[in-house]
């Protein structure tokens, strides 16, 4: 077979090669999924510093536990599960309050790693519109920090990263109904925080006449700059 016909190894093959002692395989696997893992870590933790720590914790765990992978889910699902769990562990242990601002260059990396709303990548016309869009995105990210960790993780994976509920259930190791419930409650709380509900309404029972109260959350694009673990 010529080099032109060579086929890149699958994720499962790379992970097995790592288990078998290939020193480069895990780095190749990480590089392949780096952007989305970083986007999930950043949105779950809320700022680049904590996200870098959470991502590195997760990658170290995945590196060490690779032999425990049994193939009951896709490798990408397993990687996300390990990284999300590492982030949630940090949130629970440190009771992280996300006070650090996100970087000012979020839009520079807009085409990498995740789903988003708020203008297309080429929409750089009106500075005033860009400022409003950036403020709206920041409000959503700030509001996420006030949610319980489990609701935050579900919303990040379903609404922002676009994973199907069935896969998120595997990542979070819970039932699909639990994912849906966490998303529903998280959206309702965000709607209150963002002023999308009429004053005085119960956050667990959003206004049926206001589709924004139960609509999926979309947020700012994530920077692509996770540090490479040592």
Model pLDDT for residues 144-160, shown as the tens digit of each residue? 888 888 999 999 999 88
Q: Which residues 6+ apart lie within 8 Å of 190 measured at CB?
A: 140, 143, 144, 147, 155, 196, 217
CATH number at residue 127: 1.10.1740.10
| Domain presence at residue 28 | yes
Give percent helix, percent strand, percent coil of the chain, each to the nearest 5: 60, 0, 40
| Domain presence at residue 35 | yes
pLDDT band at residue 184 using 50, 70 and 90 as cut-offs: very high
Tell me the backbone φ, ψ of residue 100, rounded to 5 degrees: -75, 135
Query: Would you state the pLDDT for residue 193?
Result: 80
Query: Would you state the pLDDT for residue 196?
Result: 59
Query: Would you state the pLDDT for residue 132?
Result: 63
> 3-state DSSP call for residue 52?
helix
| Domain presence at residue 229 | no
Single pTM value for the model: 0.66
| Domain presence at residue 80 | yes
- CA quadruple 176, 205, 98, 100: dihedral sign: positive
| Domain presence at residue 1 | no
| Domain presence at residue 228 | no
Half-sphere exposure of 106 (CA within 13 A, CB side): 27
Low-confidence winner among 67-76, 130-139, 177-186 (lowest mean pLDDT):
130-139
Range of the domain at 171: 8-213
Tens-digit pLDDT profile for residues 192-215: 887 754 444 444 444 444 444 455
Inform me whether the pLDDT recorded for 18 exceeds 80. yes
| Domain presence at residue 112 | yes
Q: How many domains does the chain have?
A: 1
From first CA to last CA, the distance across the chain in angstroms is 36
**In b/e form, how buried is each residue of 38-75, taking b as 16+ CB within 10 angstroms?**
bbbbbbbbbbbebbbbbbbbbbeebeeebeebeeeeeb
Higher-confidence residue of 103 and 175: namely 175
Higher-confidence residue of 45 and 134: namely 45
Among residues 130, 147, 124, 143, which one has the least CA distance to residue 195? Answer: 143
Tens-digit pLDDT profile for residues 107-124: 333 333 333 333 333 445
| Domain presence at residue 227 | no
Query: Would you state the pLDDT for residue 180?
Result: 95
Q: Give percent above pLDDT 90 in the chain.
A: 43
Inform me whether the pLDDT recorded for 166 exceeds 90. yes
pLDDT band at residue 227 using 50, 70 and 90 as cut-offs: low
Tell me the backbone φ, ψ of residue 209, rounded to 5 degrees: -90, 0
Higher-confidence residue of 1 and 51: namely 51
């Amino acid at each position: 077979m010529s080099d032109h016909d060579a086929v890149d190894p699958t994720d499962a093959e790379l992970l097995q090669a790592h288990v078998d002692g290939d020193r480069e395989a895990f780095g190749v696997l990480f590089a392949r999924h780096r952007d989305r893992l970083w986007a999930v870590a950043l949105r779950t933790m809320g700022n680049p510093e904590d996200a870098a720590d959470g991502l590195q914790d997760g990658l170290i765990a995945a590196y060490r536990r690779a032999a425990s992978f049994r193939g009951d889910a896709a490798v990408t699902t397993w990687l996300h599960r390990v990284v999300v769990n590492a982030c949630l562990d940090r949130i629970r242990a440190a009771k992280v309050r996300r006070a650090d601002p996100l970087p000012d260059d979020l839009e520079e990396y807009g085409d990498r790693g995740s789903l988003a709303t708020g203008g297309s990548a080429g929409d750089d016309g009106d500075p005033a519109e860009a400022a409003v869009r950036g403020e709206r995105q920041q409000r959503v990210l700030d509001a996420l920090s006030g949610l319980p960790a489990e609701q935050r993780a579900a919303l990040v994976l379903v609404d922002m990263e676009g994973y199907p509920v069935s896969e998120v259930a595997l990542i979070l190791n819970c039932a699909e109904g639990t994912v849906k419930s966490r998303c529903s409650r998280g959206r309702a709380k965000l709607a209150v925080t963002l002023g999308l509900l009429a004053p005085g309404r119960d956050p667990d029972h959003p206004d049926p006449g206001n589709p924004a109260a139960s609509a999926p959350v979309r947020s700012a694009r994530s920077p692509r700059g996770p540090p490479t673990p040592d």
